[in-house]
Structure 1
Amino acid sequence: MNTDLSFRPVRDDDLPAICTFARTAEELYFLAPRARFPLDVEQLATSIAQRSDSRVVCRGAQVLAFANIYKHEQGACWVGNVAVAPQARRQGVARFLMQQMARLAAERHGASELRVSCFNSNTAGLLLYSRLGYTPFALEERLDSRQQPIVLIHLRLPHPER
C-alpha cells in the first residue's frame, strides 16, 4: 500500500503537470481521444469542465496521476481521463488512483459498479484493469487518429472496494 500517496480534487495549478503525462500522440489518444497532441491546459480545462469529480494522486506536492467521472447512471460510474505521470508508472499509483475513484463513486454517487473504457492497443491499461478485477462487457468499433479501425473495450468492476 502506498501510504505516502494522497488523493484530492484537481486544482488549476495541477493542469500543467497533468498535460505532461501523455508523452506521445498515441498516449494522448488513450487518455483523451478528441484532444490534439500535445495536450495543453486549455484542452484539459475544457475536458474537466464537462466531467465531474476530477481528482489527482500526489506524493507530497508532486502530481502523479489524474482521473475523473464522465457518466453515472443506474448504479454505475464511468471513470475516464485516467493518466499516470511517466516517472510514476508501475509503482502502484494507478491501482491507488482507481481504488480511490471507486470509493469516491460509491460515496458520492451510490455506485455499485465502476466502468472504464480502454483501447485494444493500450496493453498497459488492459493489463492494469485486468489485475484490478475489471472484466470486458462490450466492444465498440472506432477509428484511431490515422482513421484505422480500433476497438474500444468497455470493462466493469462490480461491487468496487468501498
Structure 2
Amino acid sequence: MYQCRPVLAEDYSFICSFPQNAEELFYMFPTAVYPLTVDQIEGNSNSRLKPTVILNHSGQVTGYSNLYNYEEAERCWLGNVILSPGYRGTGLAEALINNMIAIARNELVVKTLHLCCHSTNTRGLLFYSKLGFKPYDLTKITGKQGELIAGILMRISLND
C-alpha cells in the first residue's frame, strides 16, 4: 500500500510542513529552529545515511526518516522520524520504520538499530516499544527553554 524511496530535493518542502509546532520539530530534529526550512532539513539530510520518504497510494510524500552514526557491522541510529499529520495513526509510521530496519539489516548489515526518544514523547516511546525497540540507557538532553529532558536510548536487534 505504501512505497518507500530515497528522498529527492523536491521532497524537502513537503517534509518541512510535517512538524506542526516547535515541540514536534524538537522531537524530530532537536537542533532545528521552528518552523523547519528546506535549508535546515536538506543540510541535515546530506549528512545522514539513507534519507528515505514514504509515499501514500497517490505517490504523495507522507513521511521521512534517515540513519546516522553508522559503525560498520555493529550499529547505526534511526533519526528524524516525522509523518504528515493526516497520516499519523494509520500504520504509515510502522511501515516507514520497518523499511528503515530493513535498510539497516540488509544494506548496512549492522547488528543493532538504535534511537533516542525524548522522555516527554510518550506516544513515541510506546510506539517504538511496540515495534520491538527496548530501552537500555538514558542521556541528558537540553530542551529549547533550557530544561533538562531525559533521552531514552532504545535499540532493536537485527540478528533475529
Q: Same fold (TM over 0.5)?
A: yes
Provide, for residues 38-75 of structure 1, a one-character-per-residue CA deviation record: whole Å limited to 9, x for no partner. Answer: 00100011101111100000012211110001111152
Quick one: which amino acid aligns to residue 23 of structure 1? Q
Secondary structure at the counterpart of residue 35 of structure 1: coil
- Matched residues in 1 for 2:35 and 2:75: separation? 31
Contact 2:105 2:158 in 1 (8 A): no
Measure the CA separation in 2 of the matches of 1:134 and 1:12.
31
Q: Which runs of 4+ in 1 moved over 3 A?
A: none
2:67 aligned with 1:69, yes or no? yes
Equivalents in 2 of 1:56, 1:102: separation in Å?
14
Q: 1:43 aligns with which of 40, 44, 67?
A: 40
Deviation at 1:112, TM superposition (A): 2.0
Q: Which residue of 2 aligns with 1:10?
A: 7
Extract unaligned runs of 5+ from structure 1: none
Aligned residues: 158
Q: Which runs of 5+ in 2 are unaligned?
A: none
Taking structure 2 as the reference length, what is the TM-score of the superposition? 0.95
Among all aligned residue pairs of Structure 1 and Structure 2, give the percentage whose two residues are the same amino acid: 33
Name the counterpart of 2:79.
80
Rounded to whole Å, the distance in 1 between the matches of 2:116 and 2:87 is: 22
Question: Residue 148 and residue 81 in structure 1: after superposition, are their counterparts in 2 closer, same or farther (change >3 A)?
Answer: same
TM-score by length of structure 1 reads: 0.94
